[in-house]
Chain A
Amino acid sequence: MPDVSRGSGTEARRAVMALCAAATGAELAGALAGLGTPEAEDIRAPEVGLVMATGRIGGDGRPFNLGEVTVTRAAVRLADGRTGFAYHLGRDRRRARHAAILDALWQGEADRRGVEAALGAVARRAADEAAAQARRTAATRVDFLTLARGED
């Protein structure tokens, strides 16, 4: 899970987008409520569509089409003209719209820290889950021993 990197560049914006993508609908609604649920108009109504997920031959070679994923996208404009976008796996239009509003808010200097703080709980929950998952996986790490065949 990427850290919210406390910057203003594309990488920082991507980190916030990744957090929104990892958040549940309820978490995003909660984060937005904590920021006063700002008004926003749709530039494009939330829409469900497809993205063709591609892999690479051998993991690192020429791309090939693995199969599609459902994606919901939203684009909003705040009263002050800031625009925000969201693209999420799945078909939850409301969640994508909330993420687009958070993306728009984050682009204003004054709201940036507030958005990152509102998503702090999501970051902690995601990090805790990832750590627990890593610990459960680590318990199944195996050290195979090769036994002599005893042929001679």
Chain B
Amino acid sequence: MYVAVKGGEAAIDNAHRLLAEVRRGDPAVPELTVAQIREQMALLVDRVMAEGSLNDPDLAALALKQARGDVVEAVFLVRAFRTTLPRFGASVPLDTGRMTLSRRISATFKDLPGGQVLGPTFDYTHRLVDFALAAEGAPEPAAEAEPREDAAATPRVTDLLGRDGLIEPSPPDDGSPLGDITREPVDFPCDRATRLQALARGDEGFILALGYATQRGYGRTHPFVGEVRVGTVAVEFVPEELGFPVPLGAVQATECQMVNQFHGSRTVPPQFTRGYGLVFGQSERKAMAMALVDRALRAGELGEPLASPAQDQEFVLAHCDSLQATGFVEHLKLPHYVDFQAELELVRRMRAEFEDRREVAE
């Protein structure tokens, strides 16, 4: 148990001053600006937004600067900031089907209506360190091409399969109220919407490891990437005083439609099942891992044997949040002097009793 302590104010102040100086690094090296972090460490900023569960690139970039690049610390700062703000309401659900695409790939169909576009990707690079980047210099301008006529309409791969009934439909919008894990504690078992909220803000490493585990046999789901799309999507909100959807601007997001092993029964013909991933920013790794874990967590609903951590919603949801995890692990370093004194007394007494018994036996 943690017991409050007093004292150490001067040391704490000085430690924070020292932190500020160390954060700055060598003063002979130019200081980073928030805009530089936002523009040039964009995927790191995206991760902080996703796990901070707050889309605000400038804020996430500033948090990263303050946190010296520590992702979880930056997530902590972003989450703390959001608690200071009022909530105006919930958006109109994002229409990812109308995303302005910067990337779209499918591992299931090579000829997609609307086409596959690679966009800015690390895929197919040789992963050789490019020492030219150590020097300053403008990159070669990106190639351009006339968009083909069919590029305007890009239906989801799952919509194409759905037309023939080969894949299960998405769970319908029954208009029932949406739970919110930022407002009320999670009760288990919880519904898929609650799980997706937790996964969307969950730690990328944790979700990735669980998704990977399902591939290696711990809750296998036989996944195919139906589609990954990255792009910007309009956000709309209906303010009470206006009564119509107001366009707020656009956010970047990554969506993954995972197509999984089929399922059928005496009454339902066999059809593919689905896992879904959606995150702020550009993060295919997170969206794909999220879709794998979403599907694994549906094991109970689909009558599959429950034997693996990725299928256990309490295990996954209670441990996927990097801030909760770091809070409980790192609190161990706070003063536990009274607690430990009690343990010391107990061990000393037990040892004395042990010695007494041994002497009696001898």
- Interface on A for B, CB 8 Å cutoff? 2, 10, 14, 17-18, 21-22, 47-71, 73, 75, 85, 87-91, 130, 132-146
Establish whether residues B55 and A59, one from each chain, have CB atoms under 8 Å apart when the complex forms: no
Residues of A within 8 A of B249 (CB): 21-22, 88-90
Q: Which of B9-17, B262-270, B272-280, B306-314 contacts A (4 or more CB under 8 A)?
A: B272-280
Establish whether residues B178 and A58, one from each chain, have CB atoms under 8 Å apart when the complex forms: no
Establish whether residues A54 and B93, one from each chain, have CB atoms under 8 Å apart when the complex forms: yes
Q: Which of B20-28, B111-119, B341-349 contacts A (4 or more CB under 8 A)?
A: B111-119
Establish whether residues A50 and B87, one from each chain, have CB atoms under 8 Å apart when the complex forms: yes
CA–CA, A124 to B345, complex, Å?
Answer: 77
B212 at the A interface (CB under 8 A): no
With A57-B171, A58-B276, A88-B249 as contacts: A67 and B87 at CB distance below 8 Å: no
With A22-B249, A51-B248, A71-B237 as contacts: A140 and B119 at CB distance below 8 Å: yes
B91 at the A interface (CB under 8 A): yes
With A10-B244, A51-B248, A85-B242 as contacts: A58 and B54 at CB distance below 8 Å: no
**Residue from A54, A64, A138 in contact with B192 in the complex, judged by beta carbons closer than 8 Å:** A64
**Tally of chain B residues near chain A (CB < 8 A):** 81
Residues of B within 8 A of A61 (CB): 169-173
CB distance from A141 to the nearest CB of B (A): 5
A-contacting residues, B137-165, CB 8 Å = 142-148, 151, 156, 158-159
Residues of B within 8 A of A54 (CB): 90-94, 178
CA–CA, A62 to B178, complex, Å?
Answer: 9
A-contacting residues, B178-203, CB 8 Å = 178, 180-182, 192-194, 196-197, 200-201
Establish whether residues B85 and A49, one from each chain, have CB atoms under 8 Å apart when the complex forms: yes
Establish whether residues A135 and B56, one from each chain, have CB atoms under 8 Å apart when the complex forms: no
B261 at the A interface (CB under 8 A): no
CA–CA, A141 to B237, complex, Å?
Answer: 33
With A136-B144, A137-B102 as contacts: A53 and B173 at CB distance below 8 Å: no
How many residue pairs, one in A and one in B, have C-beta atoms under 8 Å apart?
Answer: 234
B247 at the A interface (CB under 8 A): yes
CA–CA, A52 to B182, complex, Å?
Answer: 10
- Return the chain A residue nearest B144 by Cβ: A135
Establish whether residues B50 and A67, one from each chain, have CB atoms under 8 Å apart when the complex forms: yes
CB distance from A72 to the nearest CB of B (A): 10
Residues of B within 8 A of A67 (CB): 49-50, 53-55, 197, 200-201, 280
A-contacting residues, B305-331, CB 8 Å = none
CB distance from B207 to the nearest CB of A (A): 14
CA–CA, A140 to B120, complex, Å?
Answer: 8
B214 at the A interface (CB under 8 A): no
CB distance from A7 to the nearest CB of B (A): 14
**Residue from B86, B91, B247 in contact with A53 in the complex, judged by beta carbons closer than 8 Å:** B91
B59 at the A interface (CB under 8 A): yes
Give the 4 A-B CB pairs with smallest separation, nearest first. A61-B170, A58-B170, A64-B193, A89-B249
Subset of 15 A-B contacts with CB under 8 Å: A51-B91, A58-B274, A59-B156, A61-B170, A64-B178, A64-B196, A67-B53, A71-B248, A88-B248, A89-B55, A89-B235, A89-B248, A138-B117, A139-B143, A142-B118
- Return the chain A residue nearest B87 by Cβ: A50
With A52-B91, A67-B53, A130-B100 as contacts: A62 and B171 at CB distance below 8 Å: yes
Residues of B within 8 A of A58 (CB): 158, 169-171, 257, 274, 276
Establish whether residues B147 and A135, one from each chain, have CB atoms under 8 Å apart when the complex forms: yes
A-contacting residues, B79-109, CB 8 Å = 82, 85-94, 96-97, 100-103
